[in-house]
Every structure is written in C-alpha cells, then in structure tokens.
C-alpha cells in the first residue's frame, strides 16, 4: 500500500514517514504546487496539510479532488477548526488536528485503507484530461466534455492504450464491430475532428495524428 504525504514541514513529514513506513510505502511532496497529477493513480491514500505556501490544502482539493480516487486525510491546526468543514465540502474524507498522537495517526490511516474495498470510480488520468470508466464520462480539468457514445468509445480506446497507434480501420472495428456498414476512413476522420473541437476550448488536443498510419492518444497543449 502506498501513501502520498503532502506537507511543507520536513520535520513533520519525517515523523509521519518513520511512523508509517513499517506498514506502508510513503512518498513525500513538500510543495503541492509542483506535483504531477498523473502520479495520483499510484497511491491508496493521501495525507494533505492545509497550511502550505504556494498552494494550500484547500486550493489543492479544489483543483485536483475530482481526479483522485482514494481517501484524503487533512492535517489541520487547532486554530483552524472551521477549516475542516471547508475541507469536507471540497472532498476530504477525514481530518487530524495537530498536534496529534502517533497512535491516532496509525488508526486513522489503517481505517481508511481497510475501507478502500468500496467501489472505485476507476478514473484514468492524463492531466488535464481524465476518464471516469464507470460513469462513461471524460473531463478536462474539472469540466465534463460532452461526447457522443462513439466519441467516448474512441477516446476510451485511445487513452487506455496511450502508447499504441491505431489505424482508422482498427478504431472503426473496435467501436462498431467487424460487420458494421460504413466508410471507416471518413467516419473516423470526422469523429476525431469533432472530438478535437470539443477539447479545443480548453486549449488541449488529446489525439495525435501519426501521418500515414493513424492516431494515438497524446496530450498537446494548443
């Protein structure tokens, strides 16, 4: 089990890491503003401090909570009792008030890890684009991209196989089946164009043309 600890206090992160390292693999980030969101899928739990420079815990939750499919425990100071309410509103699952006991920390972390048998959203992430496989929806940042069924199926196929190049024929048969009637060349070209147009308002193109071959999933910032 892996835990991501986000806190700028190096003495505290060392204490927490030493407390939990027997049972969990701990990775520390001391500056939330520098984090690569694509690493979120590597972890089973996040521990997040509220009071940090550059990007505080609330700003982090507001920007990234929809992309994180694991519990988040907030670390909050005694003087900020109301902050936990804002944290819960932004999607935190629990909070620990500093200073806290080692036993309390172990107990909270263990409880949330055990409860992670709940159904997950199974979210694929290639920041700033994400895909919720259960809801069958794509998002750019936190905004839903309203795709038709065939557009969604194309995007899901490509993002699930990010390193693979698909010909138009490959995509067509994957989406519609081998017995489908239609022009695979024209149909896929038009749908790719429509998909790109829907992402364009966010200055993102998620599908790269491999000239003479086909298409692959690759984020391009416009």
Q: What's the pLDDT score for residue 128?
A: 93
Q: Are residues 143 and 111 both part of a single domain?
A: no
Same domain, 96 and 133: no
Q: Of 62, 85, 117, which residue constitutes the final position of a domain?
A: 117
- CATH number for 200: 1.10.10.10
Indicate if 108 and 11 belong to the same structural domain. yes
Structurally, the chain folds into a number of domains equal to 2
Give CA–CA dist 59/61, Å, rounded.
5
96 and 157 assigned to the same domain? no
> Among 75, 100, 117, where does a domain finish?
117
Length of the chain: 222
Cβ-proximal residues to 46 (8 Å cutoff; 6+ apart), any chain: 3, 4, 5, 6, 40, 68, 70, 71, 72, 73
**How much is the pLDDT for 85?**
64
Tokens 């959203």, residue located? 121
What b/e sequence results for 65-100 when a residue is b if at least 16 CB atoms lie within 10 Å of its CB, and e otherwise? ebbbbbbbbbbbeeebeebbebbeebebbbbbeeee
User: For the domain that residue 83 is a member of, what is the CATH number?
Assistant: 3.40.50.2300
Can you list the residues of the chain whose pLDDT is less than 50? none
41 and 75 both lie in a single domain: yes
Q: Same structural domain for residues 167 and 80? A: no
Pairing verdict, β 214-221 and 204-210? antiparallel
Give the model's pLDDT for residue 119: 53
* Each residue's pLDDT tens digit, 59-106: 999 899 888 888 999 998 765 556 666 666 677 888 888 888 889 999
Domain that holds residue 211: 123-221
Same domain, residue pair 66 and 139: no
Q: What predicted TM-score, i.e. pTM, was given to this entire model?
A: 0.75
pLDDT of res. 178: 74
Q: Are residues 66 and 133 in the same domain?
A: no
Q: Do 84 and 163 have their domain in common?
A: no
């Amino acid at each position: 089990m892996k835990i991501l600890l986000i806190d700028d206090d190096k003495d505290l992160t060392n204490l927490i890491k030493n407390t939990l390292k027997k049972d969990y693999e701990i990775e520390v980030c001391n500056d939330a503003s520098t984090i690569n969101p694509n690493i979120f899928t590597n972890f089973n739990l996040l521990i997040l401090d509220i009071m940090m420079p550059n990007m505080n815990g609330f700003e982090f939750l507001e920007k990234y909570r929809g992309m994180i499919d694991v519990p988040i425990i907030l670390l909050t100071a005694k003087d900020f009792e109301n902050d936990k309410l804002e944290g819960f509103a932004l999607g935190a699952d629990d909070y620990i008030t500093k200073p806290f006991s080692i036993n309390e920390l172990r107990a909270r972390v263990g409880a949330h890890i055990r409860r992670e048998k709940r159904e997950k959203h199974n979210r694929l992430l290639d920041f700033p684009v994400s895909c919720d496989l259960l809801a069958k929806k794509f998002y750019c940042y936190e905004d839903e991209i309203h795709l038709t069924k065939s557009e969604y199926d194309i995007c899901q196929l490509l993002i699930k196989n990010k390193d693979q190049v698909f010909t138009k024929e490959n995509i067509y048969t994957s989406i519609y089946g081998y017995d489908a009637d239609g022009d695979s060349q024209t149909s896929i070209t038009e749908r790719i164009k429509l998909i790109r147009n829907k992402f364009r308002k966010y200055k993102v193109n998620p599908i790269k043309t491999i000239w003479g071959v086909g298409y692959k999933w690759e984020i391009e910032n416009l």
